[in-house]
Chains A and B, each alone.
Chain A
Amino acid sequence: DVKVTQSSRYLVKRTGEKVFLECVQDMDHENMFWYRQDPGLGLRLIYFSYDVKMKEKGDIPEGYSVSREKKERFSLILESASTNQTSMYLCASRPDGQGNQPQHFGDGTRLSIL
């Protein structure tokens, strides 16, 4: 089974802090994704990476950055956390180059910015 692991289930940070959310997958997948999930808004794509050191903006990249130094790890960075970034953050991965494949998700990090 695919295993996508997000380092924290719950995280509380303060406004202005730099926040790192970590995601690791164990299936050698090329593509990785970061989403946020908010009631009434569904899942929205923040950033994705189609391979190591590659990154692409999703639909809502403002206030975020990402890092993909190793294939298995994709980090989401909140440069200066704000209260409107309080949300559930979900990481996903999928293999590339094999036709259509589903994304596999971690269990999420619930981030609260005070």
Chain B
Amino acid sequence: GENVGLHLPTLSVQEGDNSIINCAYSNSASDYFIWYKQESGKGPQFIIDIRSNMDKRQGQRVTVLLNKTVKHLSLQIAATQPGDSAVYFCAENTADSWGKLQFGAGTQVVVTP
């Protein structure tokens, strides 16, 4: 939504630099994790996912890292572009939750020229 970025931590990144967005999760039983991107006025858009039997997964310009020991998830965006400006959410899913997701609060990423 238009004002979803209010009250969120903000990451300012210069165009061309790499971005790292962090997320801590709480449920050690979570076995599937997703990153979403939400642009102003739009719904969350799926970026990349990772299962708990993996530590790293790469997509196009994005990499997700999972550290189960400290329950930490990160999203790395290579060569950040103005179109990457958005709110980024992590989400976790436990195996017995009917596909229900628990969402993080989100991080506002602002790309400056």
The answer on a CB contact under 8 Å between A105 and B51 is no
Interface size class of chain B, counting residues whose CB lies under 8 Å from the partner chain: 20 to 34
A90 with B43: in contact, given A43-B89, A110-B1 (CB under 8 Å)?
yes
Q: Are A88 and B105 in contact (CB under 8 A)?
A: no
B25-46 CB mask vs A (1 if < 8 Å, else 0) is: 0000001101010000111111
| Cα-based distance from A102 to B93 in the complex (angstroms) | 9
6 A-B pairs (CB sep. < 8 Å): A33-B100, A42-B105, A45-B100, A50-B98, A103-B101, A104-B46
B4 at interface, CB cutoff 8 A: yes
A39 touches B4 (CB 8 A): yes
Interface residues on A, range: 20 to 34
Q: Identify the B interface with A (CB < 8 A).
A: 1-4, 6-7, 31-32, 34, 36, 41-46, 49, 51, 89, 93, 98-101, 103-106
A-B contact count (CB 8 A): 62
A48, CB-defined interface residue at 8 Å: yes
Interface of chain A: mostly helix, strand, loop or mixed = strand
Residues in A neighbouring B4, C-beta threshold 8 A: 37, 39, 88
B72 CB, nearest partner CB in chain A, Å:
19
Q: A40-B7, A42-B103, A48-B98 are in contact. Are A102 and B41 (CB under 8 A)?
A: no
